[in-house]
Structure 1
């Protein structure tokens, strides 16, 4: 009898094991900030920022100290994130897209969303796009692999009449003229124009919740790209966060973004999928100094947005996946261009058959191993094929071949960060040891580091020899008729491009199914 019981128990065990489903593909969430600098988050050392949810994410995950964007401005950096290729390859140069831009992220470029769809993922983007709209919405996310899109397709400072979002504060931003009001898209339909920025974060967060729940109901893995408008100028926050931070308008806006991050984590927990979800937080570029104290902070790094100094391109990076990703800090070299190959490794997807600039970050994330890269390339906000690469990092050393000013005002203490600082060529290059001198204050004597400079020169030459510049999408110009308008063909254009009221998508219950 005992033997019979043992046989039955063994059979049950084998049946259960045989019927067990394989490990599900991980859900993927990218939380992407706008103009949030290396020194803006409390976990990165800012003394008056309040970012408890990002702090918690960092305490439970892996915090990068050497994480980079591909560009010091947003359109090219977002293109590189989604394609794993430098903006010079995919044509998103020079500068950024505007509301009437003719061009956009080329449709022959393969995005993360397209590759994940091929392996069964639901895909959604909520928030800022800034990779073009074009004629008849030809460059919107729905044409680039995303099942669902809700958000503003460009930066909110590109809209007319930037209102005062702080009722008890002076208005610092002037009205712009000649452009349509900022639209809020749901897929390819404009559902609000002008968008209410004081409500948009709650709207997008609620939309993301519905997207997550829909994917869970369909038992489908999902890719959520949560692209915040925060903390681009003009600063804004909803009623709950206005005048809530001792850091002022920037702190209020940062707190609202952090709240949104916390909501996403709560949705994952409520759905019971937090233990099978990979989450990455980063920023599109360094902090903007154009609004001075109402702008971001690069911490101990030099300069900010618009420059190839460290403050322009080294950004926060936090990875999270409970019981999978190691907890702590890493000083290994990585960047947003590495996200695509990493996600394909996690999801079992295939990389497109093109030159990729990213490398898989798995050795850093899942073990205490070295990065797959030793070189990082710095292009300016407006690359020029005649000049090529502006700076190169090799291991801890960085050489500047060129530099130009960024968005800092003309009285900014460091002249190389100022908007009026013209293009400079350095011969010999300016060389820094970033491990000892992350602020790029003390240039090394190049003659004493000839072996290092040879390594950097060789890396630069090898990279540029393999660079095939994509056709400039910004070079295709502007066409005011391509500006998003809720009432196509209305007159007088663009003044008439407004919606009357809001559509169902903006009702408080947000009762809509995302498919």
Structure 2
């Protein structure tokens, strides 16, 4: 009898231990999370209602912020489209990959070098299915050599560059029955091509239906991946809020903020749709979603453009308005809702994702990003204590334009941004020529995010000494990649649905218009 009781006791202990092992073992080897990266275009720090804009309406992003972690000091690596996207996807400053100066054109010879490792490639190594929907802007090249499908993405649905690089079409431009207010369209280029993987399925792209077609692709990808129980990475790179702004019929005249507000409403609605898709697919609780943007607002559009809120200047400049962006991290049960004032950046996304999924950082390359896990999951301090600012047109001779260390930011150079020549702040104007500062201009960003009140550098000699040391060390470590923009352009490389047709480029159109299935077939 005593032996039987002893065996019963052992059995119960064994079951308890097995239960513990199973419980904690599952915690250690839990299913890898799905990852959705939402990337807006030309969105200012002050454009979202959750960031304080009084007439914007962004209920879905507001809800995401209320359920997630809102960043107040998050930076894009560049104040311009192509270089900022290169830095996001590689975790490296654009100067290393050669994606500078300025941006890729529709007929650019170069692109994001294929020897660079992207987030998509890193996640594929960990068993992820990968897709991009939206704006690529990292090159097309000869025979599609730089498209996303050559850079780690299993599927692609989108326009490979900004819509201002295309002719204004439909006579009413990008809104139904509303006169076009934008004069910046490149009428000498091919019509905007909509790619599905490496095939042009619509040219010109119909911007009145574009967001809905993007969402069809995203929904298809999410559902297919969830059904296969395969972890997925979706990179939804919005064409919004780049000029010329656009919105479909459902959102035309939906905002008291005008066409910019209409476009913003459509983008926010799309964010809400993405959350609906992951809920319907049953993967909401195991999906990490991160939202941010590529650079600050285009002040060239004045009242029709974006807003940097309390920050100085905007797109193309190294003042705060050019680099500091809205950012929201969301993962129910993993990320505690709240607001962080810790410093982070787009280059940090790659190493953070690799840490989350247990992946490896590319070997034998210099990574500029740091892991954001302490901020996301532990209410902790950032692993980043400084941040480097390059302008939209960096060069080796000048090097770093500005550097932030803790709350202090020192400007060594500045020039105007993509702005009118009548902007109230002279330093933001497009005709504000290059200025060198010796000693540097120094600001306290905690007290003065608008960079208005210069500090006396003599009174902050210890701060300047630390900044100078960081600057010298970083520049010594910077190996500049060959400029991909410097490789030139060729009309022959502009994407055309009818190669060799005449008269070029207007002949580059699809025979049918908006008849294709826009769902994403996995390669």
User: What band does the TM-score fall into relative to the shorter chain?
Assistant: over 0.9
The alignment's TM-score, normalised by the length of structure 2, stands at: 0.94
1:77 maps onto 2:110 in alignment = no
Deviation at 1:206? 1.2
| Whole-angstrom CA distance in 2 between matches of 1:146 and 1:220 | 15
Deviates more, 1:337-346 or 1:2-11: 2-11
Aligned mates of 1:5, 1:272 — CA distance in 2? 41
Match of 2:73 in 1: 66
Other structure's SS at 1:59 match: helix
Unaligned runs of 5+ in 1: none
**For residues 118 and 309 of structure 1, what CA distance do their matches in structure 2 show?**
38
1:330-369 alignment runs, 5 A limit: 330-353=340-363, 354-369=365-380
Alpha-carbon distance in 2 for matches of 1:167, 1:495: 22
Q: Distance in 2 between matches of 1:401 and 1:290?
A: 25
Deviation at 1:506, TM superposition (A): 3.6
**Structure 1 residues 493 and 320 mapped into 2: Cα distance closer, same or farther (>3 Å)?**
same
Q: CA deviation digits over 1:11-69, x for unaligned, max 9?
A: 87748975986410011110000001100000000011010000000000100000000
* 1:514 equivalent in alignment to 2:510: no
Q: Report whether the alignment pairs 1:164 with 2:204.
A: no
- Alpha-carbon distance, 1:291 to partner: 1.2
Q: 1:155 aligns with which of 138, 142, 162?
A: 162
2:239 aligned to 189, 210, 229, which one? 229
Q: 1:413 — aligned with what?
A: 424
Q: How many residues align?
A: 512
Written as runs of structure 1 = structure 2, the 5 A alignment for 1:100-249 is 100-162=107-169, 163-174=172-183, 176-249=186-259
Encode CA deviations 1:415-459: one digit per residue, 9 max, x unaligned: 100011100001111000000000000001111111111111111
Give, in whole Å, the separation in 2 of the partners of 1:11 and 1:273. Answer: 34
Equivalent residue of 1:197, what SS? coil
Give, in whole Å, the separation in 1 of the partners of 2:348 and 2:357.
15
2:486 equivalent to 1:470: no
Identify which of 457, 480, 486 aligns with 2:497.
486
What is the rounded CA distance, in whole Å, between the counterparts of 2:221 and 2:10 in structure 1?
47
Deviating more after overlay: 14-23 vs 299-308 = 14-23
Distance 1:332 1:231 in 2: 26
* Cα distance in structure 1, aligned partners of 2:521 and 2:188: 36
Go from structure 1 to structure 2 and tell me whether the alpha carbon gap of 1:106 and 1:444 turns closer, same or farther (over 3 Å shift): same
Aligned to 1:452: 463
Secondary structure in structure 2 of the residue aligned to 1:302: coil
Query: What is the distance in 2 between the residues matched to 1:218 and 1:332?
Result: 38
In 2, are the aligned partners of 1:210 and 1:514 still within 8 Å (CA)? no
Q: Distance in 1 between matches of 2:200 and 2:15?
A: 56
- Please state how far the C-alpha of 1:8 moved relative to its aligned partner: 8.2
CA distance in 2: counterparts of 1:165 and 1:491, whole angstroms: 26
2:385 to 368, 374, 394: 374
SS at match of 1:402: strand
**Equivalent of 2:260 in 250, 253, 263:** 250
Q: What per-residue deviation string (whole Å, max 9, x for no partner) do you get for residues 250-284 of structure 1?
A: 00000100011001011111111111111100000
- d(CA) in 1 for partners of 2:204, 2:55: 32
Q: How far, CA to CA, are the matches of 1:272 and 1:12 in structure 2? A: 31
Give the equivalent residue in structure 2 for 1:56.
63
Report the CA distance between 1:173 and its aligned residue: 2.1
| Contact 2:88/2:347 (8 A) holds in 1 | yes
Deviation at 1:10, TM superposition (A): 7.6
Matched, 1:433 2:423: no
What runs of 5+ residues in structure 2 fail to find an aligned partner? none
Residue pair 2:158, 2:194 contacting (<8 A) in 1 also? yes
1:293 matched to 2:321: no
User: 1:389 Cα shift?
Assistant: 0.3
Q: Which moved more, 1:164-173 or 1:299-308?
A: 164-173
- For 1:6 and 1:298, the matched residues in 2 are separated by 67
